[in-house]
Amino acid sequence: MANINLLPWREERRKWRNQEYYKALGLVLILACFVIYIVHDYFSSAVDEQLQRNAYVQEEMKVLDAKIEEIKKLRETREQLIERMELIQALQGNRPVIVRMFDELAKSVPDDLFFTSLSIKGQTVVVKGKAKANARVAALMRNFDSSQWFTDPELVSVRSVSEDVKEFEVRMQRVNPNQPEEEL
């Protein structure tokens, strides 16, 4: 006799295939989640490392900016010190010249004439004073003109304050006869 299988084998087979499909789908889903987690973790740690490197670079930049500011301040201080040293050297070098100029001013003053103010700006010397007569002012101008230390004396003003007193202002250029013309 022939064996006839009357059991619903197709339904069981379909059920078994569905179970295998869902198992495979679940396994793929778990594997996909695991891969996504691994990739996310990798990129997250890479981003964290980069953020740490950026923070380190930022901190180092702040340190370097502070050092740059300090260097700028030091350079400014250095420039100021160099300017002061040059000024002091110029004053030290001009000390005998200034003494000689004042000596020449004192020698140029005739009797009955005195200075009330003296100002020096660059090479220009302005002398203000009082004299008893215009002849004294003229003698002062001749003395300045004959001096080696002064050139181009110019009488700016003379006015009579009282009968015996005349106020005057003289402007001239100071020169150093010991210094060559190019350095003036």
Per residue in 66-87, pLDDT (tens digit) is 999 999 999 999 999 999 999 8
Q: Is residue 144 within 8 Å of residue 150, measured between CB atoms?
A: yes
Q: CA 140 → CA 4, 134, 161, distances in Å?
A: 154, 10, 19
Backbone φ and ψ of 76, nearest 5°: -60, -45
Amino acid at the residue 111: D
Q: Quick one: pLDDT at residue 179?
A: 67
Q: Is 125 exposed, middle or buried (0-12, 13-18, 19+ CB in 10 A)?
A: buried
Q: Quick one: pLDDT at residue 1?
A: 63
Q: What stretches in the chain show pLDDT beneath 70? A: 1, 5-6, 94, 179-184
Q: How many CB atoms lie within 10 A of CB 134?
A: 13
The torsion region of residue 17 among left (phi > 0), alpha (psi -120 to 50) and beta comes to alpha
For the chain, domains (ranges, CATH) are 108-183 (3.30.70.2830)
Q: What is the DSSP letter of 110?
A: P
- Which two tokens mark 27? 């396994």
Q: Quick one: pLDDT at residue 128?
A: 92
